[in-house]
Amino acid sequence: MHDIRAIRDNPEAFDAALARRGEAAMSQAVLSLDAARRAKIAAAETAKAEQNKASKEVGAAKGRGDEAEFERLRTLVSDKKAEVAAMNVEAQELDAKLTDMLARIPNNPADDVPQGDDEGDNVEVKSWGEKPSFDFKPVEHYEIAGVKPGMDFETAAKTSGARFVMLKGAVARVHRALAQFMIDTHVDENGLTEVNSPVLVRDEAMYGTDKLPKFGDDSYQTTNGWWLVPTSEVPLTYSVGGDTLEESALPIRLTAHTLCFRSEAGSAGRDTAGMLRQHQFEKVEMVSVTHPDESDAEQQRMVGCAEGILEKLGVPYRTVILCTGDMGFGARRTYDIEAWVPGQNCYREISSVSTTGDFQARRMNARFKPEGGGKPQFVHTLNGSGLAVGRCLIAVLENGQQADGSVKLPEVLAPYLGGKTTLTAAGVLA
């Protein structure tokens, strides 16, 4: 949510920020609605003052025995009361329209975000690892012989439809091992607090984390109003919604492993084979709530946490900063970490780490009290995948595939797999 005072103070800068995203200017529409709302509030206050003045004069007129004046004033009080009530309703309606308008306007990009139209304009800032060389043509994850017995799309389609998978046996165990490894690393080495969060949330949580009203079609809502989380960013971030924290409590660093649900409304025909793009998937999420002065450094820390998982797994990756045209709605700056997938001969996103500044905090009214005194300030919120478990499974399987259809698994997973480090061509751990 944008600060209306900042728009009033510098509408040109607001429109310039929107232009960087390829969005039309909005300051005139916002300020016109804001002016109408403020004028209605002022008119209601004036009418209320007239009502109060007349109310005081009613008693005096009655005491003087001036019945005509008494009746006039009593009628005036009644009329003013109705006028104030009507104006307050109109002011509330204008306020709701203004809030809805502001809620649909994307966040301003940070100054260092590269200008661009789409993912082709993203800028690589780091690459790590040597891409594996094969003496055979590498295949995609679902084509590897050792993977096929444990990656069942047909049964999933029978039970649930397209874009679902049923993992079985050794593949399911490797998937679980990856999630556990990620959580353990974030808690034991990166200092995050583990949270077991709900995956059903209220409208307020979706709104506060900028998923509503603009992106309701991308998520699933139950018949009784709860939303299935598109990411555990929603419950983790909204856990401070409406709170005024002590500055000493910052930063708050959280992580959770949850199911996530997305309709993939705009993805028809994309990534239909395999488990790259699913309606239901698992993700380990990182969320930080910070002091505004620390949020940029915190984003770099979170990027390092996500990169560290891939480095421990031995998966080559690159990190890119997204351009203005490719950033998400609520992001101020986003880094994508893309894992190398030999079967597609390309990098694919496995984590996005974003800072929203105070954009989400304003929507959910999350503040902190400065230690030196003064008015409460909005916190900054950040979120990032640490990592998408299914996509990480894809990267591990494809990078570790062998000519005989087996898969060499990362050594760091051995403690989670009973010491075993190979998925055989028959689909069992050895």
Catalytic residues, by residue number, are 262, 277, 349, 352, 391
The residues pairing with 194 across neighbouring beta strands, listed in sequence order, are 255
Determine contact, residues 304/253, Cβ cutoff 8 Å: no
Determine contact, residues 210/203, Cβ cutoff 8 Å: no
Determine contact, residues 87/40, Cβ cutoff 8 Å: yes
From CA 42, how far away is CA 36, in angstroms rounded? 10
The residues pairing with 352 across neighbouring beta strands, listed in sequence order, are 336
3-state secondary structure the chain: CCCHHHHHHCHHHHHHHHHHCCCCCCHHHHHHHHHHHHHHHHHHHHHHHHHHHHHHHHHHHHHHCCHHHHHHHHHHHHHHHHHHHHHHHHHHHHHHHHHHHHHCCCCCCCCCCCCCCCHHHCEEEEEECCCCCCCCCCCCHHHCCCCHHHEEHHHHHHHCCCCCCEECHHHHHHHHHHHHHHHHHHHHCCCCEECCCCCEECHHHHHHCCCCCCCHHHCEECCCCCEECCCCHHHHHHCCCCCEEEHHHCCEEEEEEEEEECCCCCCCCCCCCCCCCCCEEEEEEEEEEECHHHHHHHHHHHHHHHHHHHHHHCCCEEEEECCCCCCCCCCCEEEEEEEEECCCCEEEEEEEEEECCCHHHHHHCCEEECCCCCCCEECEEEEEEEEEHHHHHHHHHHHHECCCCCEECCHHHHHHCCCCCEECCCCCEC
25: tokens are 């200017």
Angle between helices 27-64 and 67-103 (to 10 degrees): 160
| Strands ordered across the beta sheet of 200-201 | 200-201, 227-228, 220-221
3-class SS at 253?
A: strand
From CA 103, how far away is CA 233, in angstroms rounded? 18
